[in-house]
């Protein structure tokens, strides 16, 4: 877990590495993911009807493409379909992609925050 935290702060190619000044203001959150549950669905609409926005995290897989969104990511999207399309884009797929090989699973999290521990 320590390695992942360091990699997220300093080695994620999507973001500039944390600076010393920023590090002083960092608040650490830890999310423990539940065991993933596969979702059987016949369409994007069917899949979205089975998900609980704000409660379910989602992992999308298709061949070598993959994206994972934690439950709080729902807050960034005004509509469930935008959440779905963004997860496809994040995986490197076209936003309107559809394939019988598409796999979705959901999970919940148990979260702890350094902020909650220290007020």
Residue 36's CATH number: 3.30.1490.150
Q: Could you report the per-residue pLDDT of 50-106, keeping only the tens digit for each?
A: 999 999 999 999 999 999 999 999 999 888 889 889 999 999 999 888 888 999 999
Q: Can you give the pTM of this predicted structure?
A: 0.76
Instruction: Quote the distance between the C-alpha of residue 104 and its chain's center.
Output: 12
User: 116 falls in which pLDDT band (50, 70, 90)?
Assistant: low
Quote the number of domains for the chain. 1
- Domain of residue 109: give its range: 27-118
pLDDT band at 27 (very low <50, low <70, confident <90, very high): confident
* pLDDT of 2 strictly over 70: yes
Q: Which two tokens stand for residue 43?
A: 């369409």
48 vs 83: CA distance, rounded Å: 9
Mean pLDDT of the region 46-52: 93
**Considering the domain boundaries, does residue 41 fall inside one?**
yes
Please, are residues 47 and 41 in contact by the beta-carbon 8 Å criterion? Answer: yes
Is the Cβ–Cβ distance between 32 and 107 less than 8 Å?
no
């Amino acid at each position: 877990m320590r390695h992942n935290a360091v990699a997220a702060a300093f080695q994620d190619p999507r973001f500039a590495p944390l600076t010393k000044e920023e590090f002083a203001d960092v608040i650490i959150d830890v999310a423990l993911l539940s065991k993933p549950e596969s979702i059987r669905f016949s369409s994007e609409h069917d899949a979205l009807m089975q998900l609980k926005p704000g409660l379910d995290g989602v992992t999308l897989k298709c061949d070598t493409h993959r994206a994972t969104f934690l439950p709080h990511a729902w807050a960034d999207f005004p509509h469930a379909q935008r959440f779905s399309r963004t997860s496809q884009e994040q995986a490197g797929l076209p936003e309107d992609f559809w394939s019988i090989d598409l796999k979705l699973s959901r999970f919940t999290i148990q979260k702890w925050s350094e902020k909650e521990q220290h007020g």
